Amino acid sequence: MRRLLPDPAATSVAEQLADYRPWDDPPADRPRVALNFATTLDGRAAIDGRSGKIGSDTDTAMLVGLRERFDAVMIGAGTMRAERYGRIFGDPARRERRAELGIPRDPPVVIVGSLDLPWDAPLFTEGGGEALLITADADGEPPATQTPVVVLREPGGRVDVGTALRRLRAEHGIRALLCEGGPHLHSQLQAKDLADELFLTIAPKLVGAGPSILEGALPAVVELELAWLLQEGSELFARYRRRPA
Ligand SMILES: NC(=O)c1ccc[n+]([C@@H]2O[C@H](COP(=O)([O-])OP(=O)(O)OC[C@H]3O[C@@H](n4cnc5c(N)ncnc54)[C@H](OP(=O)(O)O)[C@@H]3O)[C@@H](O)[C@H]2O)c1
């Protein structure tokens, strides 16, 4: 892998992330929020309804490397239904590495959406860690699952993502949150100025149809600046930050 920007050199995912400590110095009342997405050259975020065929093994390594450095992972219910998540770290060595960094061994998986979830997905059936469901559903309970599911209710038709983030910080101590999508949850975070960083893998593929990484109106154009650009083969790995106002 090569770093093209800021200072060109040979590098690796591990080297790029070695000093990345997003849990240090979070905003006062919410977690620091980074988003991670993979896109095709024609701006599609799914192939055959899922994201897995977009990126290479290096993209997976970047995703796993990022996950290691966040208190929690967040997804929308649409992503949970499409991707059927499992335990974030099946590998005990990775859980140990997190403990050495002083962050929880198993990052909780935060899901935003209804109780219409794939309750037979490995995240719920295999145990390890916990899931936090932030829902606008006023009633209904999740079924009994191996993995504990904590329900945070935000009745009122739709979860306000700002309130949700404040609760994650105040009630669950989450200082750094990696949001892995999907596109509809992404738009709400950007619309409310709650996305601090965007890690974007640009895969050298054309697909022709499918969602983009952001679906939904924004009240204004969001301006980002490039923090780094990495290259492996024909795949690019960009890290953007929100440009300070
Ligand atoms: N390329 C990538 O990096 C990447 C990453 C993630 C996902 N994806 C792809 O994106 C697709 C899924 O797209 P998506 O837009 O449906 O995903 P999404 O944003 O994860 O899920 C949308 C769903 O989340 C719930 N939700 C979101 N905001 C809410 C709010 N404020 N209040 C209450 N519920 C809320 C709703 O669930 P309910 O319907 O339950 O109410 C909504 O239907 C899949 O094909 C997936 O593979 C790609």
* pLDDT value at residue 19: 96
Residues with beta carbon inside 6 Å of ligand 1? 37-38, 45-46, 49-51, 54, 75-79, 82-83, 112-114, 116, 136, 158-159, 161, 180-185, 188, 211, 215
Q: How far is CA 58 from CA 11, 27, 98, 116, 201, in A?
A: 12, 30, 21, 32, 10
* pLDDT value at residue 224: 98
9 alpha carbon – ligand 1 mean position (Å): 37
The tokens of 189 are what?
């975070």
* pLDDT value at residue 244: 77
Fold exhibited by the domain 2-237: Dihydrofolate Reductase, subunit A (3.40.430)
In the predicted model, residues of the chain with pLDDT beneath 50 are none
